[in-house]
Amino acid sequence: MTIGHENAANLFGALSALLRAGRAAGHRHANELGAAGTGLAALKALQCGDARPSDLAARLHVGPSVVSRAIVPLEQGGLIERKPDPKDARACQLSLTPLGTERLDSLQEGYVDRVRARFADWSDADAVYATTILAALERALADDQLATEQAALTKSLIPAGLATESGSPAYQTEPSLAHSAATSRTDQR
């Protein structure tokens, strides 16, 4: 099944608008909460485990120089540290410090509070549908190698209370399910 030209153009326009709105919100929140963009993404990625700067860049879908610039203030602020890479003495790994973990937890709570306030009229089911669709978009736009890692990170951010009976999040990974969810939510409104 292929998307028609007009629908593809509409999707492209909606994605562009979403990215612009996300960047604007990130700048607002960075000024108010203290971290956003690549720095916050790096902290979140390191929450899953230590990483070489080049691996971190790949996870974040940015160039190595972007990560290099982003980690300098994080390192100076004591939020991350460099450790020798046990597999390669010439390389280093980045890891969160206890202060970095504490700061990330605080930042995430601030962002969660803002999301809850912005979407106060949404139900948990609406949030799960939106997460499903966004994760499907992320997989479609990401390269295949990183899509699984990114989807796992997205899944890990879904509150445990929204899990299904089988223990896995009530979040589906098939784009066709995301489309069905989006269509059914649109039809109901």
pLDDT in tens, 138-163: 888 876 555 566 556 666 666 555 54
Instruction: Read off the tokens for 10.
Output: 């509409």
Instruction: Read off the tokens for 86.
Output: 């046990």
The CATH classification number of 28-118 equals 1.10.10.10
Question: Residue ranges of the domains in the chain?
Answer: 28-118, 122-189
Residue 7 has pLDDT above 90, yes or no: yes
Report pLDDT for 80.
95
Q: Tell if the pTM clears 0.75, that is, is over it.
A: no
Query: If you search the block for the tokens 């919100």, which residue do you land on?
Result: 25
Per-residue pLDDT of 79-120, as tens digits, reads 999 999 888 888 899 999 999 999 989 888 888 898 899 999
Q: Enumerate residues 6+ apart whose C-beta is below 8 A from 43.
A: 35, 74, 79, 80, 96, 100, 103, 104, 107
